[in-house]
Amino acid sequence: VGSVMTNKYSEGYPGARYYGGNEYIDMAETLCQKRALEAFGLDPAKWG
């Protein structure tokens, strides 16, 4: 079972992917990073 999110090749970092068309993947990854930092009380300057 797959989805658009799992079937999309998105190597690299948000905003700096090797292939285009990853805007929604970038938004989801950035949101996950933000929430993980908040959940564990981490400083984005050190861990972001």
Express each pLDDT in 1-48 by its tens digit. 778 788 888 899 999 999 888 999 999 999 999 999 999 999 999 986
Note the pLDDT of residue 46. 94
Note the pLDDT of residue 8. 80
CB atoms within 10 A of CB 22: 20
pTM for this prediction: 0.78
Note the pLDDT of residue 9. 84
